Amino acid sequence: MPAAPTRSVELTWCVVSIIKITNKYITYIQLSSHRPSSVLPQIEDYASTANSKICIVTAGARGSEDKKDVIVRQNTEIFRQIVPQLVSHSPNCILLVCSYPVDEMSFVAWKLSKLPPQRVIGSGTILESARFRCLIAQKLDVHPDSCQAFVIGEQGCNSIPVWSSVSVAGVRLRDVNPDLGTGVDPEDWQSIHKEVMESAKEVTCLKECGSWGMALSVARIVRAVLFDSKECFAISTHIKGCRHGVEKDVFLSLPCIVGCAGVQFIVRQHLSDDEKDCMQKSADRMYETQKTLGLDNETKVEC
Ligand SMILES: NC(=O)c1ccc[n+]([C@@H]2O[C@H](COP(=O)([O-])OP(=O)(O)OC[C@H]3O[C@@H](n4cnc5c(N)ncnc54)[C@H](O)[C@@H]3O)[C@@H](O)[C@H]2O)c1
């Protein structure tokens, strides 16, 4: 693996570095950097991206994550410049969105691209889910691969840990501890979700860069698409009508089977009433933000 630059490590750079060494078969990766760099090729001419199987969009405005509404509007303008051009040259591509805030930007990319919803994927809560599994595994002293656990919904502080389905080797932990993940749990499993949300800051503090974990997650999604592996990831997807009561055109994370067609299907987890309620609240928040983006008149794609 190439040595990490000491300053200003962009997500694009990390994704490309990881994919280069793990995957020989990628035909093209969309790079978003405008910044002159000896490492990142610059794309001025979108024709050079023609017939990509997968286009990864990491372009985004810099700004405080507290000002999410401002960033959504700025990034929507950036996506207007990028997405239609990309898709016109690669009409059969899978569009993989990483830009913040990923759920809103996946919706924007879907609207602007006019692609079928299963071909627009947001990186969503894939990294949170990996960290969640890891911390649960540490507490139980088992390998993370032996733990099934997902963080779903909205990426960030409103994400939802699905305590109701956490299991090890098919044993649901709620069957062992019915209070698992609740406020009255004597074992305080709830604090693990807090740790997941704080871990991004901690990683950035310790490593001076938080992009490598995200880049590894993106590389896993890319591999699943290119090798049609049908792996299951918590990624941001169009969730309307997915049986959790959400009837709005919004993108939120749910466990999805990923293959060459993008999201092959959404896994229908049995959520508790509280978890469904949180999904609905996130969907309502998304919908309110989306209404302000002026995308309502874009051509609607049938789901
Ligand atoms: N770093 C992470 O761990 C991480 C994780 C998840 C999501 N994200 C999100 O992914 C995005 C990229 O992260 P980053 O750390 O690389 O940020 P960054 O600010 O270093 O990179 C953003 C890139 O977008 C480019 N850009 C801006 N406007 C553009 C336009 N109109 N056309 C083409 N390119 C344009 C910039 O030149 C820059 O290269 C951000 O939105 C970030 O919030 C980052």
The model's pLDDT over 241-275, given as tens digits with 9 standing for 90+, comes to 877 778 889 999 999 999 999 999 999 999 999 99
Atom of ligand 1 nearest to the CA of 81: 31
- Distance from C-alpha of 271 to C-alpha of 93, rounded to nearest angstrom: 32
32 lines ligand 1 (CB under 6 A): yes
**pLDDT tens-digit readout, 48-96:** 888 889 999 999 888 777 789 999 999 999 999 999 999 999 999 999 9
Q: Is the pLDDT of residue 212 over 90?
A: no
3-state secondary structure of 151: strand
pLDDT for 43 equals 56
Atom of ligand 1 nearest to the CA of 210: 3
Complex ipTM, two decimals?
0.95
Q: Is the pLDDT of residue 129 over 50?
A: yes
Kindly report the protein residue whose alpha carbon is nearest to atom 34 of ligand 1.
Answer: 32
- Distance from C-alpha of 137 to C-alpha of 131, rounded to nearest angstrom: 10
Pairing of strands 94-97, 54-57: parallel
**pLDDT tens-digit readout, 277-299:** 999 999 999 999 999 998 864 44
- pTM, rounded to two decimals: 0.90
pLDDT for 31 equals 45
pLDDT for 89 equals 93
211 lines ligand 1 (CB under 6 A): yes
Atom of ligand 1 nearest to the CA of 71: 41
